[in-house]
Amino acid sequence: MPERKVVLITGAASGIGAGIAELFAESSYAAVLVDLDLAGAKRIAAKLGKPAIAFAADIADEAQARTAIESAVREFGYISVLINNAGIEVSGSVSDLSPAQWDRQIAVNLRGAFLMSHYAIPAMRERGGVILHISSVHAHVSWAGSAAYDATKAGLIGLTRAMAIDHGPEGIRVNAICPGYIDTPLMEKWLESVPDRSATMRQVLSVHPVGRIGTPRDVAQAALFLASDAASFISGTALVVDGAMTAQGH
């Protein structure tokens, strides 16, 4: 019987992270769900059934990131796939952002991915493994007021390439996924904040040649493929999942 694979997902309590957890569990992965929202992560774990466990962690904190990895290894013995999905978005131009806001954006989105990878790689070396960074179309295109967010998402692409080169000889593949507009609680919160929700949604749909926005499962399907043996020769790349939005310049 083949050895069960273990996936660790950060930011797994909702949205893209929860969608990834659900699809990987359907594909017989044991799941380790890491999120600041422990209650939310536990709810997702309960939906998945066993084996699925949840841990609370601020991945920007070295001790907490290390503990999350160590706890997963204690529970399952190894990690097959690490998905660095947790992230925040702090809006503002460089002149508007405070240094503290900039630092927090970098800490969660970029330092967090580094820390989780730093401690996961030793747990992958014996069997090999896959690391996926959830970046964004913001790595390739920018909108006003997204300076810090764009910097972190572009940084993840550079980190992906460097890690793929450094750790490929150890049997570890590293890729990134760049989602566009995805139907998540974060997007819902944004829609609630705009003056005209219907007009905004019509505008959003108009820039998607496929005629819809994405779902967490769309991103999860891409992640499952990149984690699979079918993608064994794919490493150091970024897969855009955006319904051709950026292809037409949006």
149 catalytic? Reply is: yes
Q: Are residues 138 and 197 in the same domain?
A: no
In-domain check, residue 30:
yes
Q: Are residues 23 and 12 in the same domain?
A: yes
pLDDT at 131: 99
Provide CB contacts within 8 A for 246, sequence distance 6+: 137, 140, 141, 180, 240
Q: Are residues 193 and 83 in the same domain?
A: no
The residue segments making up the domain with residue 202 are 184-213
Q: Are residues 220 and 107 in the same domain?
A: yes
pLDDT at 2: 61
Determine if the pTM surpasses 0.85: yes
pLDDT of 1 above 60: no
Q: Are residues 198 and 89 in the same domain?
A: no
In-domain check, residue 64:
yes
One of 29, 78, 119, 149 is an active-site residue; which one?
149
Q: How far apart are CA 44 and CA 47, in angstroms?
A: 5
Task: Give the residue-averaged pLDDT of 205-228.
Answer: 94
Sequence-ordered alpha helix ranges (H) in 77-215: 99-106, 112-124, 147-167, 185-193, 197-206
State the number of CA atoms in the 13 A half-sphere of 233 facing the CB. Answer: 0
Q: Are residues 109 and 203 in the same domain?
A: no
Total domains in the chain come to 2
Residues 20-51 have pLDDT tens digits of 999 999 999 999 999 999 999 999 999 998 79
